[in-house]
Amino acid sequence: MCGIVGYIGTEEAVPVLLNGLKKLEYRGYDSAGIAVLGKPGLVIRKSKGALKQLEEKVAAELKTGDGASLSGAMGIGHTRWATHGEPSDINSHPHTDVSGKIAVVHNGIIENHGKLKAWLEAHGVIFRSETDTEVIAHLIDFHYNGDLLLAVVEALKRLEGSYALGIICENNPDRIVAVRKESPLVVGSGRGENLIASDVPALLEYTREVYYLEDREIAVLYRDRVEFYNEEGQGCKKESSHVDWDVSAAEKGGYEHFMLKEIHEQPKALINTLRPRIKTYAVKSINLEEIGFDGSWVEANRVVITACGTAWHAGMIGKYAFEHFARIPVDVDIASEYRYRNPVFNPRDIFIIISQSGETADTLAAMRMARKSGARIIAITNVVGSTLAREADLVMYTWAGPEIAVASTKAFTTQLLCIYLIALQFGFLRGTIGGDVLADYIDALENLSAYAARILDGKENIQRFASRQFNKSKVFFLGRLFDYAVSLESALKLKEVSYTHSEAFAAGELKHGPIALVDESTLVVALCTQSSLFDKMDSNIKEVKARGAATAAITYEDVDYFDKTVDEVFRIPHTLDSFTPILSVIPCQLYAYYCAVQRGLDPDKPRNLAKSVTVE
């Protein structure tokens, strides 16, 4: 989704803005632009395509000496992910009012922009772009009477939808006004300089003191201070937060791509997620006191899990885990479906909402529905201070570190670890798991990090396999129980980054339709880690083989059951069948990554996708 940066200080703004936008590239975009306010007034440069094109445009201008107009110590910048109007220079942000004195960058969707546009046109405004954003610039101008904050407060009253906004005005050259509703925006407070950004990595070179804006909260940034206001324009106080992770955590660190780096970070991320939650006194136990999880939570009659994409797949594994360990009914739902259904709530339901970013629009909407019903909410998220984290009753952070690649990898495996911990503690507190058994389960969880590292050590096997198979036009992943959910995640990874047509099937469903698709052009990857179902999986593999498919299996390193059936076996260390998803997904993540690279694609920036889907 779109990325926003803003700077006010003593440095030249252009390099700061371009640098910040670079840090937000992972969010996905199709054009970029900046507005700088200096001696010559408000100057705007935009470019369709990669940020590099904007950089080249600006560099060429600076080289020829025409760059003086780009000199100024304040400005705003934007990477646009098109929603209203095609990617083009004219539709790129910043957008201005008719006179060109007010510039606006926006992330989100203004739902009533059609109505507002008609109203503004009736007042003589001539629109230049097809965007919903342009109405904001004109509205602010409509209400502008010398005070930018007041004009923004008035304009906001008319806006419906979601927005994070950075606004500057030629007549108020000492301030940036920023506000958000349902789209992320962070304020960074430095020495003699202040910044805004859609995400923390864009701020870290300048400051670690940040303010996470609440919905409808307004920040006014001056060089030497930041003031906060509510939506009525009344001043309010706000506490800053200190970011303690390093800027290098958000950089590639020698890997060719973020996706590969993040796949390799999983052993460490699993330790970071697990360690603070384990007590190792006499008998090992789970410590969820830090998040306020006590006995009252396990009185629930039902657990409802909602999420999108990869996080939804984590939720499916959560269903199996809760049923298995805690013997409690679980519903798991795609957030974008859930929010438009008419679900039956029960006051004794608890909700688990999973989101790497904590900003996914559909997921937040589902959470708010649950909240309205009176249900209690546990959030599992990776982003400290995200909207989800702030609105839930309990937050369990995944502590995976920043995930930059669009394709989620380490967020998924750490989400799974969080879910296992909650499900096990649920079972323990409900009496379905005894203390000694729990300690054994914890031992098994503690082994997973080293096991993940072992799988990564053998990555060349997957790379070789991908170099032979990357051109397959159809790849199907098959599995049963926990393996079925991993199949869904594996198919998503492969389609996201390599654009291969890949699907996942519950292996038992094969004969009910999907087998009609299988022919010589198909690769079938069978996930085979559910020991009681090995014979069933073996039959399924033989069925697809008989129809000409190439086959591979992922199974335990001490199991030779499938050696004679499939063309290729990938092995993972032996753990509990119910914990295998954390391991078995890793070969599939690697396979997706290597297929993308073989196809000459950039796995970090898949076409049409954005890291954080903050609009519907």
Overall size of the chain counted in residues: 616
Q: Please, which of residues 258-277 interact with ligand M6R by CB under 6 A?
A: none
| Sign of the C-alpha dihedral computed for residues 113, 86, 181 and 342 taken in this order | positive
Q: Please, which of residues 351-370 interact with ligand M6R by CB under 6 A?
A: 355-357, 360, 363
Distance CA 201, CA 414 (A): 21
Q: Please, which of residues 103-162 interact with ligand M6R by CB under 6 A?
A: none
Segment contacting ligand M6R by CB under 6 A, of 55-63, 264-272, 400-408, 470-478 = 400-408
Distance CA 155, CA 152 (A): 5
Nearest-CA neighbor of 236 among 226, 224, 223?
Answer: 226
Taking the complex as a whole, the smallest distance from the CB of residue 435 to ligand M6R amounts, in Å, to 34
Which residue lies nearer to ligand M6R by CB, 262 or 483? 262
Strand partners, 41: 38
Q: Long-range contacts made by residues 190-194, C-beta under 8 angstroms, separation at least 24?
A: 190/9, 192/9, 192/10, 192/223, 192/224, 193/7, 193/8, 193/9, 193/10, 193/11, 193/223, 194/7, 194/8, 194/9, 194/221, 194/222, 194/223, 194/225, 194/226
Taking the complex as a whole, the smallest distance from the CB of residue 410 to ligand M6R amounts, in Å, to 11
Taking the complex as a whole, the smallest distance from the CB of residue 356 to ligand M6R amounts, in Å, to 3
Q: How many residues bind ligand M6R (CB under 6 A)?
A: 16
Among 76, 407, 523, 537, binds ligand M6R (CB under 6 A): 407
Catalytic-residue membership of 472: no
Which residue lies nearer to ligand M6R by CB, 308 or 404? 308
Rounded to whole angstroms, what are the CA distances from 539 to 478, 510, 549, 565?
12, 11, 14, 9
Task: Name the H helices within 308-403.
Answer: 309-321, 335-338, 361-372, 387-391
Among 33, 267, 309, 385, binds ligand M6R (CB under 6 A): 309
Taking the complex as a whole, the smallest distance from the CB of residue 446 to ligand M6R amounts, in Å, to 26
Catalytic-residue membership of 236: no
CB distance 102 to 144 below 8 Å? yes
Token pair recorded at residue 338: 């859930």
Q: Please, which of residues 597-616 interact with ligand M6R by CB under 6 A?
A: 609, 612-613
Which residue lies nearer to ligand M6R by CB, 357 or 565? 357
Segment contacting ligand M6R by CB under 6 A, of 201-209, 349-357, 435-443, 525-533 = 349-357
Distance CA 286, CA 254 (A): 36
Which residue lies nearer to ligand M6R by CB, 116 or 417? 417
Render 499-520 in DSSP notation, one character per residue. --EEEEEEGGGGGGTGGGG-ST
Taking the complex as a whole, the smallest distance from the CB of residue 174 to ligand M6R amounts, in Å, to 36
Among 32, 200, 259, 406, binds ligand M6R (CB under 6 A): 406
Which residue lies nearer to ligand M6R by CB, 306 or 530? 306
Helix axes 134-143, 113-122, angle to 10 degrees: 50
Among 308, 326, 494, 510, binds ligand M6R (CB under 6 A): 308
Rg value, the chain, Cα: 26
Q: Should residue 413 be labelled a site residue for ligand M6R when binding is judged by CB under 6 A?
A: no
Which residue lies nearer to ligand M6R by CB, 24 or 553? 24
Among 12, 217, 496, 568, binds ligand M6R (CB under 6 A): 496
Among 31, 107, 183, 310, binds ligand M6R (CB under 6 A): 310
Catalytic entry in 2, 528, 588, 595: 2
Catalytic entry in 46, 181, 261, 611: 611
Taking the complex as a whole, the smallest distance from the CB of residue 306 to ligand M6R amounts, in Å, to 10
Residue whose Cβ sits closest to ligand M6R: 309
The Cβ of residue 404 has, within 10 Å, a number of other Cβ atoms equal to: 23
Q: Should residue 408 be labelled a site residue for ligand M6R when binding is judged by CB under 6 A?
A: yes
Segment contacting ligand M6R by CB under 6 A, of 113-121, 152-160, 350-358, 365-373 = 350-358
What is the phi/psi pair of residue 375, to 5°?
-75, 155
Taking the complex as a whole, the smallest distance from the CB of residue 409 to ligand M6R amounts, in Å, to 8
Among 102, 243, 260, 311, binds ligand M6R (CB under 6 A): 311
Which residue lies nearer to ligand M6R by CB, 20 or 358? 358
Nearest-CA neighbor of 251 among 614, 1, 604?
Answer: 604
Compute the C-alpha angle 574/262/589, nearest 5°: 55
Distance CA 55, CA 37 (A): 18
Which residue lies nearer to ligand M6R by CB, 91 or 356? 356
Please enumerate in sequence order all residues whose Cβ is within 8 A of that of 175, keeping only pairs 6 or more positions apart, or say none.
8, 148, 168, 220, 221, 222
Which residue lies nearer to ligand M6R by CB, 427 or 603? 603
Taking the complex as a whole, the smallest distance from the CB of residue 321 to ligand M6R amounts, in Å, to 18
First to last CA, the chain: 11
Q: What is the DSSP letter of 182?
A: B
Q: Should residue 306 be labelled a site residue for ligand M6R when binding is judged by CB under 6 A?
A: no
Q: What is the DSSP letter of 110?
A: B
Token pair recorded at residue 73: 């110590």
Taking the complex as a whole, the smallest distance from the CB of residue 97 to ligand M6R amounts, in Å, to 34
The torsion angle over the Cα atoms of residues 163, 164, 166 and 172, rounded to 10 degrees, is 60
Which residue lies nearer to ligand M6R by CB, 38 or 309? 309
Taking the complex as a whole, the smallest distance from the CB of residue 363 to ligand M6R amounts, in Å, to 5
Which residue lies nearer to ligand M6R by CB, 224 or 616? 616
Distance CA 1, CA 401 (A): 20
Taking the complex as a whole, the smallest distance from the CB of residue 364 to ligand M6R amounts, in Å, to 9
Burial of 500 (0-12, 13-18, 19+ CB in 10 A): buried
**Max Cα distance, the chain (Å):** 79
Segment contacting ligand M6R by CB under 6 A, of 50-58, 218-226, 304-312, 575-583 = 304-312
Where do contacts with ligand M6R occur on this chain (CB under 6 A)? 308-311, 355-357, 360, 363, 406-408, 496, 609, 612-613
**Enzyme catalytic residues:** 2, 611
